[in-house]
Each structure stands twice: as structure tokens, then as C-alpha cells.
Structure 1
């Protein structure tokens, strides 16, 4: 595969990941769809697209090989907690702030797990982790521009859940088929959540359209594109380029939704993303979607 095609696939994947935040925020803030229904439609449509891609890929394999790993229920539960928390948090949070909190929580939880497992950081990595944590704390301190506490806590939980999902997925086999299997397992969980919150169900065509886009395009197809590019990227490159996702989401929120670009958000972004970059630029990698 040519270098230009790798760059294009990587850019499309990063835009898709940022698009998830934008689509969710548009749907929850500007249409009448409820968070549980958005989550269910996103996960169901994502599962359908991913499985269609898996079947198409397997049918076209010349060697006839079929991946045997189809995910598992614990990973699916982590995926569901992420997706549900992501939706409910975006009822209150702006696009950029939500993406930054999510990204910070994902990477911080994965870094913390590495430390707990006995990994040793260089002085630069330790400084980076301290800087990232300081940025998160600064973002969440009380003040006029502070994000709502409830939405923040829910998004932090979603980020930790995605960190768990990413850690469980390391070395789990064919990533596309594993992701498809995990998405499929989240469907009954999402439907159960919708039943439990049946009295809050609210649907409209625009909200359903955004949920379908989020599931089928920016989730299902986005993950497929990312997994096509990932084997061709260096580990440090793959980890570092993901730093652009919260920035892309924030820029989209400012340009398309007229969301404010506050000094607090700018400074917190520099601290969190700069700190995480210091950690990730060492020969190790971590995943964010």
C-alpha cells in the first residue's frame, strides 16, 4: 500500500473518531432523541456494518482463512458502558470538552494500568503524566467555564470503560472480527437499557439519522478503516496521531455548532495532550477510538 493511501486512511479514521463526538452532541443537544435510543441505534447499526464487512472480507480471502475469535462478553460490557456513558454525557457537555475528557480518561487509565503492572517511566514520561493529570484537574475545577459535574463524571466513566476495552483487546486476534463480535454482544444490553428507560423514549427522524451515521459510518466503517491503516503505522505514530482526535472534535464543535472556545479549554488541551504525548512518544502504544 502506498504512503499516500496510508495517510488518507489514517486521516479518514481520525475524522471518523472525532465525528462520533460531533454526531452525538448534535443529536442529544439539537434533536429530540433520547440518549438510550441513540446508544441502541448506534450499537445495532455499528454491529450490522461491522459484520457485513467481516463477511465480505472473509469471502474475498484467497487463502480461505477464517478468524475464530469473535469477542467476549466482558469486553462487550466495557464497550456498552463506554457507548452509553458517551451518549448520556453529551446531553450536557460541549463537543470538544467531552472528547478531551474522554481521551484524557482513556489514556490516563491505560497508563495507570501499565504502572500498576510494573512499567517504569522515564523522567520525561513522569512529567508528562503529571502534566496531563494537572490539565484534567484544571479543566474540572469550579468556575464559570467549568463543564457540568454530572456530565463530566459520566464521561470519565465512559473513558475508563474504553480504556478497559482497549486493554482487553490487545492481542485478541483479528481486530475487525473481534470488534464486530463485541458490538453484536452489546445489542441486548442496549435494548435492555431502552426498555428500562422506556418512559424517557423520544425519537425523531433527525436524531435517528445522526445515530445511524454514528453507528454505521463513524463507528463501524471508521474502525474498519483504522484497522486497515494500523498495521502499516509505527506503534508510536499510531498512538501519537490519536492526539488530534479531541482537537478535531473541538474545532468541529466551534465551526459547526458555534460552541465557545474558552481559555480554560485551550490550556487544558495543551496540558493534557502535551503530557500524554510525552508518555506516548516512548516506544509503546495505546488505543483510542
Structure 2
């Protein structure tokens, strides 16, 4: 059909008369019967996109249920019980009657907690000076007297220094730190006596040690370091040759050999104890040296040496 139309259009353009065009019409109809008209193929329609599934918000999601905890085996005497054999479980199930649905469930009775034995032990601290044999003595029971007391007191009767033992005129009750410092101090005095007086020490004359009282014996004053087994009073020394050098009668004259020894003892004490009081401190100490390891100052490093 398109060919016939194109032919007629061409003849019209060439100026061929209409009669000739009428002659060609039967020919066009014959051509159309032989060649069927071409039907244009239908155009494919684009596929419509499927609607996307609505997004699930995080808050709309339901959390998965927590796993069911497995039952824990019962324990006996804090040890895990052995699991019964399968045959024993089956026999027990057959022997047990079916539970009555109408019966009220019995309440589980909690086992009674085992009785806790009271701890009567005494916790104390060992003393290195006592363990090494530097001081001779023994541990005592803890002391508690009102505000006074000491957790690990010692009863000291002698010290081992410079290769020999120096006894105390009376045993003293003190703490470990005081016992160690006391041994070092007696060792220094013994070395001086042996060099300056040609005789080492035989014994140390001791006074007050552990005593719950106020300072200088004043009941209204602060508690003395004696109340914490942290102080000792020394009244003098006895040499191996039998001489006795006491604080009150031999402090003066200072230039005498005995006076020099007492001043050497006083000075050596100031390097080992935090508090050293002698005859020049006050009238309360005119007959003895007071030695202690009390705390002075914010850092407990200040010293009093009088």
C-alpha cells in the first residue's frame, strides 16, 4: 500500500494526467491482494517496578527472647553432685505417681545455712629484730586498756650487740620498732664505753615501759607514748668491770668520764628516736632518759631532742 501511494505521488509530481492515474488503480488493488499490509509490531511496555517493602525501623523490631537458662545441678557440701544414670532416672519416673493437678504445690524449703565457727585466732605481726635474735624476748598477747594498747607487744629482756649479750635490769614491754631502735642504741653506747672507759656494758638499767597514763604523769594531759608501748625510760648503765653510771648522780660534772658517756648516750639516742628527753629538758626527767618513737609534725619526721 505504501508503494502504491508513493507511486501516485510520484506521478502527480511528474505531471502525469489523471486518466493515467485511474489506469493504475486496478494495479494498486492487485498489489495489495498479493502483499498484505504490514502491521506495525506492538511496542513493548516497560515493566512496572514492584513496590519496595516498607523499611522496618529499629524501634519496631522486637528483641529476640532471652534464652531459657539451663537448670543447675544441686550441690552437696559445696561440691558438684554426680549425675544419676539414665536407668535410675527411668526407674524413678516409673515409680513416682502422676501428680494431682488439683493438689496445691508444696513450697520449697530452703536449706539451713551452716553455722559459721567463730574465729578466735589472734592476728599479730612478727618482729624481725626478735626473729634474728637481735633482741631477746617473746611475743605477748595484744594489749587493750581503754585508749591505750598495742596489737603486737614484746617482752624484751636483753639485746645481742657487738658480739655479746647485754641484759636489762628488768624486762620491758614495748613494740617491735622500739625494740629494734633500742638494740641499735645500746650497741652504740656499748662501743663508746668499751673505747672510752675500757669496759663494755654489762646491763641496761630500765625504768617505765608500757603504762597507760598522761604525759609526765598528768592525768589531764594527752596520752603518753608509754600508753602505746612506744616509749622507754632508762636510768643508767652498769659496766662489766662493775662500775655503775646513773643519769641523776653522773650527769654532772659534764667533763667527767661518766658525764661524757651520758652525753654521748643522749646524742646517739637523738639519731634513732623521735623524742629524747634528759635532765636538761625539765624536772620530770632529771633522773632518766625518756626515749620514744612518737609522731611529730605533719610528716612525723620532726624530732625533739632535749
Same fold (TM over 0.5): no
Which one has more relative contact order, counting CA pairs under 8 Å at least 6 apart?
A: 1
Indicate the structure (1 or 2) with the bigger Cα radius of gyration. Answer: 2
TM-score (norm 2): 0.23
Structure number with the higher strand fraction is 2
